[in-house]
């Protein structure tokens, strides 16, 4: 389990990346999908990663030390947020592209999608990119608490179909609010690290 989690630093570009051999798992997804809230849920902390009901809260790559050097979690800004100008959008794209393509410490990506909705074009682009560069993906469907029971299976099916989901990747449905399935996350993260 995750026993300790501490914030290390934020980085805007590769000059801020940490120079050591510790494995990293990066968390990506649309703005407001619940990446930062999810990091708080799995680390059992309230304010480790900054969250907000307004999209666009996370602006930089944020590095967290898990279990005193076992691995790092990297919280990333969300994509698909309309209220950023083109320059910001390009800077964001470059930062993420550089990190996801060139970061040697990166062993896998945790991609979050909102269980209520079909994936967007941005989601599809991200997932295709991750598959292209051959990164292992753990897909997390968030906001399960907002779904009617009848929609859970239906929406999962639809999300997987639209993304052309690779059945070798794990898909886990969670609620950060009710903590549903949060207890399952550590083991699948370790599978990413080991696999």
Q: Where are the alpha helices (DSSP H) in 30-120?
A: 35-43, 86-102
Give least dist CB 6 to ligand GTP, A: 18
CA distance 41 to 73: 13
User: Which residue in 31, 43, 62, 65 binds ligand GTP (CB under 6 A)?
Assistant: 31
CA distance 171 to 69: 26
Residue 53: CB atoms within 10 A of its CB come to 6
| 31 Cβ contact list (under 8 Å, min separation 6) | 55, 56, 77, 78, 79, 80, 81
CA distance 132 to 100: 11
User: Which residue in 58, 65, 142, 175 binds Mg ion (CB under 5 A)?
Assistant: 58
Binding of ligand GTP by 173 (CB under 6 A): no
User: Which residue in 64, 77, 100, 108 binds ligand GTP (CB under 6 A)?
Assistant: 77
Binding of ligand GTP by 65 (CB under 6 A): no
Cβ distance to ligand GTP smaller for residue 139 or 194: 139
Cβ distance to ligand GTP smaller for residue 30 or 160: 30
Matching residue, tokens 């805007």: 12
User: Which residue in 26, 27, 36, 48 binds Mg ion (CB under 5 A)?
Assistant: 36
| 52 Cβ contact list (under 8 Å, min separation 6) | none
| Interface characters, 33-62, with ligand GTP (x: CB under 6 A) | xxxxx-------------xxx-xxxx----
Q: Which does 108 bind (CB under 5 to 8 A by kind): ligand GTP, Mg ion, none?
A: none
Give least dist CB 49 to Mg ion, A: 6
Binding of Mg ion by 37 (CB under 5 A): no
């Amino acid at each position: 389990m995750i026993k300790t989690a501490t914030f290390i630093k934020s980085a805007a570009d590769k000059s801020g990346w940490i120079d050591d051999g510790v494995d990293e798992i990066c968390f990506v997804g649309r703005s407001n999908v619940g990446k930062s809230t999810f990091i708080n849920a799995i680390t059992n902390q309230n304010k480790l990663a900054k969250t907000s009901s307004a999209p666009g809260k996370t602006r930089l790559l944020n590095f967290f030390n898990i279990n005193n050097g076992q691995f790092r979690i990297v919280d990333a800004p969300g994509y698909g947020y309309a209220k950023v100008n083109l320059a910001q959008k390009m800077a964001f794209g470059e930062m993420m592209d550089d990190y996801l393509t060139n970061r040697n410490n990166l062993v896998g990506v945790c991609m979050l999608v909102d269980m209520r909705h079909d994936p967007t074009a941005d989601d599809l682009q991200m997932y295709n990119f991750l598959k292209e560069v051959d990164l292992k993906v753990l897909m997390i469907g968030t906001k399960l608490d907002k779904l009617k029971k009848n929609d859970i299976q239906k929406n999962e099916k639809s999300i997987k179909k639209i993304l052309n989901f690779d059945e070798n990747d794990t898909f886990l449905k969670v609620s950060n609010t009710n903590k549903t399935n949060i207890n399952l996350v550590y083991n699948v993260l370790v599978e990413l690290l080991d696999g």
